Amino acid sequence: MVRRSDGAPADSHAYLDPFVESILEIEPRWQEGLVGLEEYSHLVVIFYLDRAKRRRSVGLADGAEGRAGLAKVGFFATRTPRRPNPIGLACPRLLRRDGLRLHVRGIDAWDGTPILDLKGYSPRDELHPAATVPEWLSELWRQHDRERATPDRTS
């Protein structure tokens, strides 16, 4: 289960700052499965968006996060939690492991969100150096950085 201490509301329209430190609480029966995980710098976390309003129709393309001035895109081009199948994915930095608690930074999940699976991030498998993102997403990130007044965040 994901634990956040920033008081972010658990609704499908609230933007969650992924750079807030979060804790992934793992059930005791999986403790042995965590052995060696602390050697990774990042994790791959799959989680269930249990409180998101599930998307039942495609809807109209809109500016990302409903922001004016950004290109109109469909929901599959965004990280909206309103999806046909409410599954989230993040690759947070692992800050430290305390037994069954994994302290991370870089996950946009609500407090209490159930974790479906996790694994160590493997650059050989997941990293794509030639990957690109559309300009509207780069602009959205710049807007987020300005809003947080922290222009150079790294995960």
How many degrees, rounded to 5, is the angle at CA 140 between CA 41 and CA 120? 15
pLDDT tens for each residue of 51-108? 887 888 787 777 777 778 888 888 778 877 778 888 999 999 999 999 999 999 999 8
In a domain, 153, yes or no: no
In a domain, 19, yes or no: yes
Assign residue 63 a region: left if phi > 0, alpha if psi is -120 to 50, beta otherwise?
A: beta
In a domain, 32, yes or no: yes
Task: Tell me the pTM.
Answer: 0.79
d(CA 72, CA 136): 9
d(CA 54, CA 37): 32
In a domain, 155, yes or no: no
In a domain, 100, yes or no: yes
Q: Please give the residue range of the domain that contains residue 61.
A: 2-148
CATH number of the domain within which 65 lies: 2.40.30.70
d(CA 38, CA 48): 23
Phi, psi (5° rounding) for residue 123?
Answer: -55, -35
The domain total for the chain is 1
In a domain, 125, yes or no: yes
Token look-up 């690759």 returns 91
pLDDT tens for each residue of 14-23? 567 778 899 9
In a domain, 80, yes or no: yes
In a domain, 154, yes or no: no
